[in-house]
Structure 1
Amino acid sequence: MKLKLFFMINILLFIALASCGQEQVESDEPIELTISAAASLNEVLTEIKTLYEEEHQQINLLLNFGGSGSLQQQIIQGAPVDLFFSAAEDKYDELLERNLIDSSYSSDLLGNELVLVTPSNTSVEITDFPDLVSDEINTIAIGTPETVPAGQYAKQTLQQLYLWEKLSAKLIPSKDVRQVLSYVETGNVDAGIVYRTDALLSDKVTLIKTADPSLHDPIIFPVGIVKGTRHKAEATDFYEFLHSEKATKVFNKYGFLMVGNK
């Protein structure tokens, strides 16, 4: 009887120790933070991710890129996102109004410019936005204005120049600004309207003209912590890193303007 009791005690002790060991293994697993960000931030955030993870090896940053409007809707529908980096204030502000962004960790961080680009090998000569009405220009890619901020700014610019109606038959709506850039790079369209930072990334497009900032809403990229994050401390640390001097140097390297701080 005593021998049986001895074995039972040892078995229970083994199970308890194994359970504790498993909990220790799980606690040592990296924490994953999901960053939903505008497509135009792809390269710069990918570089910042590398820098941050080198200093924080217990953190894995999962970068989810897309049109700001689509990403906003994902958050509204409950997608597990820790930080949102938008290319438009209106999409972002709606989340603030819905109390889905933590206002204590929210800021307007970056600025950008809107530019007209053409394929670098095109034979069509244009020098400004009004030249888009030329019969030689058949297709113009812009982001879908309802969901893509760059498309919204493009529409505002063309409306202010009284070109929107004239060009409506030529416009090719795209899911995000990077798709616009791709269409221009491959020659699938005759022209496109993108951010300056996108144009600077490609040697397959020619930057024709920068839109006058007065023709569209200010191009501001706000960033904030999503209230539903399950990793508040880690999300806060990365949010702070985005405002650091080290991150600022990377943003400047890719042509972004620093418009604010935390």
Structure 2
Amino acid sequence: MRLSTGLISFILILLFSCQSKTGKENLSEKSEQKISVFAAASLADVMSKLAKEYQTKSGVKVALNFASSGTLARQMQEGATPGIYLSASPRWMKFACQDGSADSTVCFPVARNSLVAVVPTNSRIDTLPISPTLDFPNSFNGRLAIGDPAHVPAGQYAAEALKSLGCFKLLQPRFLKTKDVRSALMVVELGECEMGIVYATDAMKSKKVRAVGVFPESLHQPIEYWAAKGKHGGSTADSLLKYLHSAEADYIWKKFGFKTIAEPRKSVTNK
């Protein structure tokens, strides 16, 4: 059977149109690939940089949501489904894994931090050799800014350290509890508190405060950041989690003042 020239042209145009449409759809799917990450507030700077580098490398858009680790874990419990959860506390990571919001089989520590006492740059306070022999409550005036220990890991570590120093109950009425560690830093920057307890990485980035003392790790639990795949994370989450332990990411973690973990443990459920 012979086909007319017009019919052949119509078939060719139709085939080209379908291929073009399929190609556009595939390109659209690739360009729309994205992942949401819930991360502790103290990771805002480093995760923004890591996300930017990963997005450039992979083409995957990374949507970041920062808050206290406890707040994020509660949001996940109430139905939020991030691809990855990054907690500043093994306690809240364990909560998320036991709740089923995070995958306990894809869960490990990625970085460490330190706890420091900070004051405004113009403070009269010079340095504080923090130890059980220091009269910490009388080393500053007024209130002490800390993250709320009820849901902010930095506040929980601060409370542990103060209990080890034997001055938690004495200082408790002077606490100015904040919604996250960045807010504790901010009130010291504004001069609303003469002293605050924050992470070393937060103090490092601020030009309005000085770190005057480091809390020895013997006074509190190790400060570890844990990463886990969300229950609907998929292969994109696996890829980003792998990147967080790459040589490139290791350099970025250290640039922002974090200590990296070369051989991560694989479970938080026993912590």
- C-alpha separation between the residues in 1 aligned to 2:190 and 2:164? 29
Q: Deviations over 1:178-235 (max 9, x none)?
A: 0011111111111100011111111211111111111111111110101123xx1111
Sort the Cα spacing of 1:169 and 1:70 in 2 relative to 1 into closer, same or farther, 3 A.
Answer: same
Instruction: Name structure 2 gaps, 5 residues minimum.
Output: 1-10, 267-271
Sort the Cα spacing of 1:161 and 1:136 in 2 relative to 1 into closer, same or farther, 3 A.
Answer: closer
Equivalent position to 1:141, from 130, 145, 164 = 145
Is 1:234 equivalent to 2:205 in the alignment?
no
The within-5 A match list for 1:1-262 is 23-24=25-26, 26-57=28-59, 59-124=60-125, 127-128=128-129, 130-134=134-138, 137-229=141-233, 232-259=234-261, 260-261=263-264
Residue-pair matches, total: 249
Sort the Cα spacing of 1:28 and 1:127 in 2 relative to 1 into closer, same or farther, 3 A.
Answer: closer
Q: Is the 8 A contact 1:102 1:225 kept in 2?
A: yes
- C-alpha separation between the residues in 1 aligned to 2:23 and 2:198? 53
SS at match of 2:202: helix
* Post-superposition offset of 1:136: 5.1
Q: Deviations over 1:79-110 (max 9, x none)?
A: 02110000000100122222332233211111
- C-alpha separation between the residues in 2 aligned to 1:124 and 1:169? 22
AA in 2 matched with 1:109? V
Q: Is the 8 A contact 1:132 1:167 kept in 2?
A: no
Q: Is the 8 A contact 2:140 2:195 kept in 1?
A: no
* Post-superposition offset of 1:28: 4.1
Identity %: 31
* Post-superposition offset of 1:127: 2.0
Q: Is the 8 A contact 2:81 2:230 kept in 1?
A: no
* Post-superposition offset of 1:133: 2.2
SS at match of 2:166: coil
SS at match of 2:62: strand
TM-score, length-scaled by structure 2: 0.84
TM-score, length-scaled by structure 1: 0.87
CA RMSD of aligned residues (A): 2.4
* Post-superposition offset of 1:123: 2.8
Q: Deviations over 1:117-146 (max 9, x none)?
A: 101112345625545423851011000001
* Post-superposition offset of 1:147: 0.4
